[in-house]
Structure 1
């Protein structure tokens, strides 16, 4: 008997979303670059940079953002930015950065694409040691850092906590600013952005963890879920894990969700099994059991080339867009994130 198991299913039904339709979760040892550790995965962190490409990012086109030796970097051209392709609201953010002497860079929070006014159209967390007022760790036009820690001099880390009107900034694990925007025009969501203003700047280990998550698996039963009639599958909760076996079938959530991020850990207990997570779906019936978008789960590819998925592949949107690479395998736990915001 072949089956699927799922655990740690979480959803956030608020105004935020993720950039990936085919996320790559790499399990690594502590200290590895652009890879999540097992602990970080279980804590809900999402890697925003795969270490190889600018997938999930969009440049304003003004400078030479590119990937070089596992880092995102820019060193020529006028002022410009690299933005995530989707918006976020409440979250924790982490990155490592390196900048030349006298360089000027920033991380944009809750940003419009290519903001022209850093006070009204984003929060510009500055990376500029020689700025006359808003040095590294400050928010340009709004709040200088309470404590100055230089950003120059090798690789440094930046951590942000963004929750409602509050933004906390830490450099190298030391809090340098706690700012709350109490204005009536405070921004509540937007794109993340990496800015290159002057000099060379590089980024790596870019990750984000949504706040306000809630588990969709409660206790030892299927509370919060119901079966779509007329199917063969048997669903059960065993030791905190959702098991499905015995043929085709569908399990639906009782609640409906708007914009969300959903994270799950999945184990395919058979070779090339076919499963999926439906979302934006119409309530299932015996005649039409599943009518919506399907985040495919199928760990199969053509020959030895994982970039050629079979049947859209794990992480693809079935019948719409294949995954760019099948990074998960059967007979081992893997993490998949599904995100939806409006039409994205």
Structure 2
């Protein structure tokens, strides 16, 4: 691990030198073709973590729901004991129990692998509440069971629609479920087995894993949020505004990135957002620079909202010891559990805000999972703010030099 970190630091120093050359010519990170070393700095951050997602998956916006090592971002409901064995979530029980994501999702594409025995009766739940009263109305249960074990064979929606029966494969199998509006489609081992249209769709809920009968294991659980719209056209600042007291300089680079320099200052959206998933790419052009993405901000005020930190520093060579909350931390609320991103390399941040619950992924790896338990208050510095607010990019200080691109948002329905 230490050797890999040293390599990252060396590459970052090389990248910084070439970045200064590129930006001095009016360029931006994505535009460099100066040399092989300079081109290397445009690649996504090499992860010091298990290879959960590929670079292309991160670029597409996929997030990992399971990190392969812990149950961070999950909560158990029921008597079943969930364990992690060789990079998989496993359970064996004669009683019914669930493992739910702490986050809720609306429109998405879900992919995972499962390993079931002949006696298994299990399932994957979509848009589910934590307490299920009726699977025919409360959620969508994608069943995992043989035709001999259940009238709803693997890939069916229990009590909604039976799926096509396909010949099971030995070993690990794949499940893909797409939920978009009222349309649910399921593929098992790459083959389409179900297409279902709900005239009264469940709009939002948790992803759930079920243990009911027999052994079951799940791994490589990943999700692609859907329904995004762009917040930045790559040409000008339409839809954005600066603050009259802002000392930051905001420019649009020739390749269509936002560049925020200097501070103290901010760039703020004109529109307001309440519950949402926000994704964007970030490039930090300096060693351990400080910035942030603020959300549910009081419109027109200086950085008065929740802050998802941007700071790639860590202590003692240990990425589990973030300096100043760490990239993806909810500043002054919850530190990032690991610093995943690096300076001088593009990284992707995903921010989910759903009522009092907030979660952040960096390069598809979940780093925070926080619930604001304070009493409601319109000012987020003083309490739980549920009101819609603006999104702000922070110019922290005179040394700020941050690039943003591919800024998009998918609003989540509210009950």
TM-score, with length taken from structure 2: 0.72
Give CA deviations for 1:187-213 in whole Å, capped at 9, x if unaligned: 222111000111111111111112111
Q: Write 1 or 2 for the structure with the bigger share of helix.
A: 2
CA distance, structure 2, for counterparts of residue 6 and residue 343 of structure 1: 36
Q: Distance in 1 between matches of 2:29 and 2:356?
A: 26
Within a 5 Å distance, the mapping from 1:165-204 to structure 2 comes to 165-182=182-199, 184=200, 186-204=201-219
* Aligned residue number for residue 12 of structure 1: none
Distance 2:227 2:328 in 1: 24
The aligned counterpart of 2:238 is 223
Query: Which of these residues, 23, 38, 46, is aligned with residue 63 of structure 2?
Result: 46
Among candidates 315, 318, 322, match of residue 335 of structure 2: 322
Q: Which of 314, 319, 336 in structure 2 is aligned with 1:306?
A: 319
> How far off is 1:34 after superposition?
6.0
SS in 1 for 2:321: strand
Are 2:97 and 2:212, in contact at CA under 8 Å, matched by a contact in 1?
yes
**8 A Cα contact 2:45 2:346, kept in partner:** no
Q: Contact (CA 8 Å) 2:121, 2:150: kept in 1 or not? A: no
Structure 2's unaligned 5+ residue stretches are 1-18, 31-43, 358-415
Q: What is the CA distance between 1:309 and its match in structure 2? A: 1.1
Give, in whole Å, the separation in 2 of the partners of 1:307 and 1:219.
35
Q: Cα–Cα, structure 1 residues 34 and 201, in superposed 2: closer, same or farther, change >3 Å?
A: farther
Distance 2:109 2:296 in 1: 26
Return the match for 1:94 from 107, 111, 125. Answer: 111
279, 297, 300: which one aligns with 1:281: 297
Higher RCO (CA 8 Å, separation ≥ 6 residues): 1
Q: Report SS of the residue matched to 2:58.
A: helix
* Distance across 1 between alignment mates of 2:59 and 2:219: 21
Deviations 1:36-87 (A, max 9, x none): 1121112121111111111111011411112211111112351111001121
Structure 2 CA distance for aligned equivalents of residues 333 and 108 of structure 1: 34
State which of 281, 285, 289 in structure 2 corresponds to 1:269. Answer: 285
TM (normalized to structure 1)?
Answer: 0.86
Count matched residues: 317
Whether the 8 Å contact between 2:248 and 2:265 is mirrored in structure 1 is yes
Alignment of 1:88-237 (within 5 A): 88-129=105-146, 130-145=148-163, 147-151=164-168, 153-182=170-199, 184=200, 186-237=201-252
SS in 2 for 1:41: helix
CA contact (8 A) 2:62 2:222 kept: yes
Give the aligned partner of residue 362 of structure 2: none
Between 1:120-129 and 1:293-302, the stretch displaced more is 120-129
